[in-house]
Each structure stands twice: as C-alpha cells, then as structure tokens.
Amino acid sequence: MPHPESIALLTAIVVLLMHCIGILHILHALMHVRTSQGTIAWIVCLALIPYVAIPFYWILGRSKFEGSLRARRADDERLIQLSMDLRIAFMKFEADESTALMKAAEKLGGFPQVHGNEIEVLIDGEATFDALFRAIKEAHSYILVNFFIVKSDRVGTRFKDALVKKAREGVRVHFLFDEFGSHKLPKSYLREMEDAGIQTCSFGANRYWWSRLQLNFRNHRKIVVIDGREAFLGGLNVGDEYLGRSERFGAWRDTHLRFCGPAVQAVQLVFLEDWFWAADDVPEVTAAPIPCAADQRLQIMPTGPADPNDSWQLFVIEAASLTTKRLWITSPYFVPDDGVLSALQAAALRGVDVRILLPEKSDHLLVYLSSFSFYEAAIPTGIRLFRFTKGFLHQKVLLSDIHTAIGTANLDNRSFRLNFEITALSTDPTLVSRIEGMLTRDFEEAREASVAEFTSRSFLFRAACRAARLMAPIQ
C-alpha cells in the first residue's frame, strides 16, 4: 500500500506539472486568441484551474483554423489554376462601378462584383425547396452540395432520394456536410447515397491528429451548385422545420437565393476549397463562367477563421460606418462584440435608421439571454430592436442604403470568428428594392423592444443574461 507521504508528494508533483503546462497554454492564448475578452478569460482559468481549463482549451480555445484556405489552395495545382482562371475570366464581367463597401468586401472575400447574373429571392422553405428540387432534377453533369445541417426527416429523405436518383442517372454528386451540425445524421442515410455512387464527406477541423478535439470551427455554409451554371445559398438547411413543421416554433421565416451567371463560379470555388480540405481531392467541374440573359450585379464573399482578419465582423462594421440613411439587419442571434456594437451605436447617433430584427423565441438559450444584455447599450443610442412574432426568424439579411447582403452569417461571435460562412452582396436596384419590400413586411410582423423588457425583469433573469454574455466568445 503506498505511503501517505508518497501520495502527497506525487500529488504535489502532478499539480505543479499541470500549472507549468497551464503557463505554456497561457502563452499560447496570449499570442493566438483573437479577442481581449477571450484572452483574459482563458488566462484566468488556465492559471487558477489548469487541470480543468486545459482540456476545454483544446476543445474550444483556439480561434484560428489549422491550415488556412490560402494554404489549402496552394496545396493543389488544380485549385491554383482554377483560381487564376476565374480571376482572369471575372475581368470580362467585373462591374464598371464599385462602391467603397463592395471594394472592402472584395478585399475581405477575394471576389469582385460581376454583372451578367440572374437572381431570384426565395422566401421561406416552400419556395426554396421547390426551386432546389427542380434544379436537381434538371442537372446534367454534376451537383455540389454543402450544408451545415442535414436531417433524415421527410424533407431530408426527399433530398437524399433526389440526389440518389440523379447519381443513378450518371450525374456526379459531391455531398459535403458539417460533422458537428449533422451529427445526428444516421450512417444508413450516407450509406444509401454512397451505394448510388455519391461521394460523401464530412467537414471538420480534424484532418490532422492534433486537432481532433477542436469543436469550434464549423462549416456553416449552405451551398448547392448545379453544373456550374446555377447556385443556391442562404439561411436554410435541410430539415422539416425549414418548411414550418417545427412543433416548437411552427412557422419558420428564412431567406435563400438562387442565381445563375458568372457569380456561380465564385461559389463553386469556395465549395472546391472546402471539399479539398475534407476529402483531399478536387472534383472535375465546368470552370468557364456562364452568363445569363439578365444582367444583375452580384458579389460573393466567403468568410471564416482561416482569413487573416475577422472578415464578417469587419464587413458589418464597414457597412455601419458607410451607411447614411438606413441599416436593417435580420439575424436569429444578436451578440455583437464591442467593435460591431460601437459601429451600430455611432450610425444610430448620426441619424441612420438602424434596425435589428430578432426572433421572439430563440432556439439557443445562451444567445437568447445574451441579446437582452445589450438592450441598455443599444436602444438609448437610437438602435431599434424588433422581435419577430410570426414564428421563428432564421434569415440572415443586411440592407444598407443601396446595398444588400444575403447569406449564412449571423450577428454573433461564431459568425464573426469561428464559422465558415458565405454571403452574396449586390447593389442591383431591382434586388435591393425586392429585399426592402420583404424586410418591410417582416418588420410589420414584429414588435419593437424596449429597455424596460430587461431592466424590469427579476434580478436572477438579469444576472443570467449578464452571465450568458460572458460566454459570448464560445457561443
């Protein structure tokens, strides 16, 4: 039986060793965690309770993706050539005029605004899935699919069956899903796809053994590309709730885009980079831009933790800084960091009509509580917060003066720093007018929030909101 003194000595050595390892992690956090709030929180935890904090740091601590998009692109000669060819081809379609906001978006996302596109706004699930299934049915060569969440419910089964049918007709199908968002997807679902010849792959940060515990980085993109001529992106995943079949929320408000034209090639390149990371392969695709009869302008901006900067955060700040009349944003989550909140406050103070549309009920408790903690800072400066009451609001749309943005990114830390996102931007007057009318109707289905909704609540509720806000870096 071990002597008590030996046990005490061994325990002391283990504790000392853990604190030494904690110091090494503190140095790593000091150099690599992107926000001061997150850095301070990790330093305190790693210093005081390293034996608890170190495992969590490995799972949630890093804010930089291991292996950037640029490095991935440089790994494969075909991706290099496709990227170069696309930029040369875009010179023929690049819009003659570009605003300051679109120039910033080009530097952040790498793609310019191009003309020669035809854009369709798809409001809610019925319109989106009708258009999507129709496009899949008409595919001739290949289909590229990337979703954050895919479920094996009624619409998910219909989606699988549609892809399986095309694969058996000889159409190549590449199916990419996020391993975290689609963790409930059964193996039988994928097996049926693979038996039909569909190439399936999960996207995660675990390509290398040292990053297998990392859960932060999620591919939140929703992309479908048909034959290199038609693309879909927006807020909808694949599941029954997106058709308003949620027992908890009922109606589901969302927005998606369908478009053809040169901009499709930018979406396709984003998919190929993600697929290469996950599968170490580059599918054969149609690389030449295909113009449409219409001539609408569109720009694609991919963002994520592989970028050298926090691209989506910088875009929102720039949009708030440059707008002069209005800034309307819809998102299911409102957990802005200090930079975004300050930009929104400054815009409202100079007379800009700043409106944020949020759901009345949220699907994530922490972000729901966190949003209330911003009432006192936002509303008195002129920022108008609205709660959508007709079901659950999940769309991600921004409208400022002559610009609109529709995509997958929310107003929270995950979209600012941790998730891979994609956004379509445009200054096309027809599209901007369409989005303005759509959002006007959405605001009519909402109620305006007041500071009293937070300050008049119980101490425990307000404390819970403040505590939830402290968790913003990992929500």
Per-residue pLDDT band for 105 (boundaries 50, 70, 90) equals: very high
CATH topology of domain 69-98+120-294: Endonuclease; Chain A (3.30.870)
Tokens, residue 247: 């027992």
Given the residues 160, 220, 256, 403, select the one marked as catalytic: 220
Which alpha helices (H) appear in 94-153, and where do they start and end? 100-109, 124-137
Q: Indicate if the pLDDT at residue 327 is higher than 60.
A: yes
For the chain, the average pLDDT equals: 88
pLDDT-based confidence at 192, cuts 50/70/90?
very high
* pLDDT score for 468: 82
Active-site residue, from 124, 178, 227, 428: 227
pLDDT band at 69 (very low <50, low <70, confident <90, very high): very low
| 222 is known as an active-site residue | yes
Tell me which of 153, 161, 353, 401 is the catalytic residue.
401
Domain positions in the chain: 4-61, 69-98+120-294, 311-474
The yes-or-no verdict on residue 415 having pLDDT over 80 is yes
Active site residue 220: yes
Catalytic residue, chosen from 222, 256, 310, 337, is 222
Q: What is the pLDDT of residue 227?
A: 96
Query: Rounded to two decimals, what is the model's pTM?
Result: 0.87
Range 84-105 average pLDDT: 87
Let me know if the fold of 69-98+120-294 is the same as that of 311-474: yes
268: nearest Cα among 295, 290, 292: 290
The residue annotated as part of the active site, out of 151, 174, 396, 403, is 396
Q: Tell me the two tokens of residue 47.
A: 């210093």
Residue 52 has what pLDDT?
67
How many residues does the structure list for the chain?
475
What CATH superfamily classification does 311-474 receive?
Endonuclease Chain A (3.30.870.10)
Nearest one of 119, 118, 137 to 129, comparing CA atoms: 137
Calculate ∠ Cα 246-248-249, nearest 5°.
70
Cα angle value 66/68/69 (rounded, 5°): 140
Our answer to whether residue 325 is catalytic in this structure is no
Catalytic residue check, 401:
yes
Mean pLDDT for the stretch of residues 428-441: 97
More reliable by pLDDT, 218 or 436: 436
Residues 320, 344: contact at Cβ < 8 Å?
A: yes
Q: How confident is the model at residue 58, as a pLDDT?
A: 63
- At 152, is the secondary structure helix, strand, or coil? coil
Q: CA 206 to CA 342: how far, in whole Å? A: 36
396 is annotated as an active-site residue? yes
More confident residue, 355 or 27: 355
Segment 9-22 shows an average pLDDT of 72
Per-residue pLDDT band for 20 (boundaries 50, 70, 90) equals: confident
Q: Which entry of 115, 394, 412, 428 is annotated as an active-site residue? A: 394
- In percent, the amount of the chain with pLDDT more than 70 equals 85
183: annotated active-site residue? no
pLDDT greater than 70 at residue 276: yes
Query: 292-296: which pairs have CB atoms within 8 A and are 24 or more residues apart?
Result: 292/116, 292/117, 292/118, 292/260, 292/261, 293/118, 294/116, 294/117, 294/118, 294/119, 294/261, 295/115, 295/116, 295/117, 296/115, 296/117, 296/118, 296/119, 296/259, 296/261, 296/426, 296/428, 296/430, 296/431
pLDDT, residue 62, reads 58
Please give the average per-residue pLDDT across 433-448, as a whole number.
Answer: 97
Query: Which of the four pLDDT bands, split at 50, 70 and 90, describes residue 70?
Result: very low
